[in-house]
Amino acid sequence: MKIYLLDLGSLVIDRSDVLWHIDVGTAVRFPVYGVYVDHPEGKFIFDTGYDLDHVNKVLPFELPEQTPEQTIPAQLAKIGVRPEEINYVINSHFHFDHVGGNRFLTNATLLTSKLELRSSLVPEPFERLGYSDLSFYTRGMKVEYLEGDVELAKGLSLFQTAGHTIGHLSMLAEPEGRRPMIFAGDAAYTYETLDRMIIGGFHLDPIDSISALKRIKAVAKQHDAEIFPSHEMEPWLKWKHAPEFYGA
Amino acid sequence: MKIYLLDLGSLVIDRSDVLWHIDVGTAVRFPVYGVYVDHPEGKFIFDTGYDLDHVNKVLPFELPEQTPEQTIPAQLAKIGVRPEEINYVINSHFHFDHVGGNRFLTNATLLTSKLELRSSLVPEPFERLGYSDLSFYTRGMKVEYLEGDVELAKGLSLFQTAGHTIGHLSMLAEPEGRRPMIFAGDAAYTYETLDRMIIGGFHLDPIDSISALKRIKAVAKQHDAEIFPSHEMEPWLKWKHAPEFYGA
């Protein structure tokens, strides 16, 4: 299993959106990335970034920066993979900055919980902007519904971390010759989120959001895994980016 | 039944705390007030403001402004009532800016839900500052536990508006010779909250918070009542303040 981090651009939000109620009025630029897992049992992508046109149109205040290279097709091209070769796409959740590249994965089966899909299509009022890019879904497309924690393939699994959204999922990958990796998704934007146990300012359920942080830490401890938060610039810049990869 | 609005000072929060995610980084000063109801069946107080020392010590960043006249004893003195004459105290919820004057009401029975009292004593991590002033409660004090919607006295009732906190209550008063009055508490900080249906940035449950707004509007419609939000300067300045009163 090889694990590639795909650079999909960056956005700006307030620090109080990263850490609820902290440093209100301080803008923070953060990375948006996807994870491509090349596994003997299939080709998986976890999160696909945002669609630049969509953000420019609907959320221009998040000041998107995305070069043509920072898209799913261009990132996969670096590895020699065509988007139509991807077998499965999983989104930690269906917010616009995690689903924007799904539409390129024309042969992929979408793996999701019914809850998350339903809520993205019929959101709460305060979730409308989050769930504003529905290009990832068309009725009749290939979907498999997940329940609970799920093993996707040997050494690759999803676990439930609801709170940020109703069906949020994090991913655990256990590549050979390397410490296991947890891709937290927006259950943990940053390491500070985990250290201080302060949830983000976007959330469906604050109590569940805290439980999700605890769960990520518990799974990390159980597997001696390294946690990769979703939206923090400094560590992101130090990680390997595609075409480099983790695992073997 | 006579209804007196008690001026208990003011505080500053961010506009994004008033309207979740709106105008981040814009400070807003808002009033804090209580409601004294002089009723043939008893003397009631709904919300008692904040304790200045507590806020200066624990939340000085909310920039409290409170003169000696803007306290429960001084406000009641204007009406010729001593704090120990109050029979019942109800807090919309137990956040510090709604309970600070309870300790002066030495003979009053506290009317609360078990849920709200329990959560104030054992809060969620993100509720710690909100529930930081526990001076309103001592074990063994006179408490009556409420369940659901409750009639306190003829034409005076409480109805459930959970969301901001787990057991939030709003009050409906139907004085003679006047349109009924709804004291929304922090279920609706401002009229803009109600108009735009945007909840505050402090909350336990966003979905319930929206339902609470709907409930307030429904109760208002049913009784043709005027809604009094908790924390908005402009309308507050136009309302009658003690020793003036509503009703007869």
Task: List the one residue out of A106, A100, A65 whose CA is nearest residue A82.
Answer: A106
Q: Which helix (H) or strand (E) covers residue A109, if one does?
A: strand A109-112
Residue A124 has its nearest CB partner, among B25, B203, B206, at B206
- CB < 8 Å to B162, chain A: none
Helical segments of chain A, H only: 15-18, 52-58, 72-79, 96-99, 114-121, 191-196, 206-223, 233-238
Residue A124 has its nearest CB partner, among B124, B125, B207, at B207
pLDDT digits (tens, 9 = 90+) for A55-71: 999 999 999 999 999 99
Alpha carbon distance A47, A99 (integer Å):
6
- CB < 8 Å to A203, chain B: 206
Binned at pLDDT 50, 70 and 90, residue A105 comes out as: very high
Alpha carbon distance B160, B214 (integer Å):
12
At B103, is the secondary structure helix, strand, or coil? helix
Catalytic machinery residues of A = 97
- CB < 8 Å to A16, chain B: 14, 16, 24
Alpha carbon distance B115, B168 (integer Å):
10
pLDDT digits (tens, 9 = 90+) for B234-243: 999 999 999 9
pLDDT digits (tens, 9 = 90+) for B82-113: 999 999 999 999 999 999 999 999 999 999 99
Q: Which residue in B has a C-alpha nearest to residue A198's C-alpha?
A: B126
Q: Is the pLDDT of residue B140 over 90?
A: no
Task: List the one residue out of B197, B239, B232, B241 whose CA is nearest residue B13.
Answer: B232
Query: How many other CB atoms are there within 10 angstroms of residue B34's CB atom?
Result: 26
Of A81-95, A117-131, A151-165, B50-64, the poorest mean pLDDT is in A117-131
At A170, is the secondary structure helix, strand, or coil? strand
CATH number at residue A74: 3.60.15.10
Mean pLDDT, residues A34-55 taken together: 98
Q: Are B170 and B93 in contact (CB under 8 A)?
A: no
Q: Which residue in B has a C-alpha nearest to residue A16's C-alpha?
A: B24
Burial tier of A83 (Cβ tally within 10 Å: 0-12, 13-18, 19+) = buried
The full length of chain A comes to: 248
Binned at pLDDT 50, 70 and 90, residue A202 comes out as: very high
Q: What is the pLDDT of residue B239?
A: 98
DSSP letter at A82?
-
Interface contact A204-B207, CB threshold 8 A = yes
Mean pLDDT, residues B138-161 taken together: 96
Share of chain B above pLDDT 70, in %: 100
CA dihedral B117, B122, B126, B128 (to 10 degrees): 80
Contacts of A202-205 spanning 24+ positions with Cβ under 8 A? A202/A17, A202/A95, A202/A130, A202/A164, A202/B21, A203/A20, A203/A163, A203/A164, A203/B206, A204/A119, A204/A124, A204/A127, A204/A162, A204/A163, A204/A164, A204/A165, A204/A166, A204/B206, A204/B207, A205/A162, A205/A163, A205/A166, A205/B205, A205/B206
Mean pLDDT, residues A183-190 taken together: 98
Alpha carbon distance B157, A19 (integer Å):
38
Q: Is the pLDDT of residue A139 over 90?
A: no
The B181-185 sheet, strands edge to edge: B150-153, B156-160, B169-173, B181-185, B226-229
Task: List the one residue out of A45, A174, A154, A40 whose CA is nearest residue A110.
Answer: A45
Most B CBs within 10 A among A16, A129, A166, A198, hence the mutation to make, goes to A16
Q: Is the pLDDT of residue B5 over 90?
A: yes
Q: Are B92 and B45 in contact (CB under 8 A)?
A: no
Q: Quote the Cα angle for A153-A159-A163, to 5°.
A: 150
Residue A126 has its nearest CB partner, among B14, B16, B199, at B199
The full length of chain B comes to: 248
pLDDT digits (tens, 9 = 90+) for A71-98: 999 999 999 999 999 999 999 999 999 9
Interface contact A24-B21, CB threshold 8 A = no
Q: Please identify which of the residues B17, B47, B97, B208 carries the catalytic annotation.
A: B97
Q: Are B223 and B150 in contact (CB under 8 A)?
A: no
Q: What is the pLDDT of residue B139?
A: 85
Interface contact B25-A17, CB threshold 8 A = no
**Residue A121, CA distances (Å) to A130, A146, A219, B52 in order:** 11, 17, 30, 47
Task: List the one residue out of A36, A75, A51 whose CA is nearest residue A171.
Answer: A36
Q: Which helix (H) or strand (E) covers residue B213, if one does?
A: helix B206-223
Size of interface A-B (CB pairs under 8 A): 54
**Residue entry with tokens 């146990």:** A197
Binned at pLDDT 50, 70 and 90, residue B210 comes out as: very high
- CB < 8 Å to B124, chain A: 206-207, 210
Interface residues of chain A, partner chain B, Cβ below 8 Å: 14, 16-17, 20-21, 24-26, 124-126, 197-199, 201-207, 210
**Residue entry with tokens 């616009």:** A96
Structurally, chain B folds into a number of domains equal to 1
- What is the overall mean pLDDT for chain A? 97
DSSP per-residue codes, A24-72: TT-EEEEEEEEEEEEETTEEEEE-----HHHHHHH-GGG--B--TTSSH
Most B CBs within 10 A among A22, A24, A124, A198, hence the mutation to make, goes to A24
**Structural domain boundaries, residue B231:** 2-247
Interface contact A203-B206, CB threshold 8 A = yes
pLDDT digits (tens, 9 = 90+) for B29-70: 999 999 999 999 999 999 999 999 999 999 999 999 999 999
The greatest distance separating any two alpha carbons of chain B, rounded to the nearest whole angstrom, comes to 47
Q: Which residue in A has a C-alpha nearest to residue B15's C-alpha?
A: A24
Binned at pLDDT 50, 70 and 90, residue A140 comes out as: confident
At A150, is the secondary structure helix, strand, or coil? strand
Q: What is the pLDDT of residue B179?
A: 97
Q: Is the pLDDT of residue A224 over 90?
A: yes
Q: How are beta strands B2-14 and B27-39 bridged, if at all?
A: antiparallel
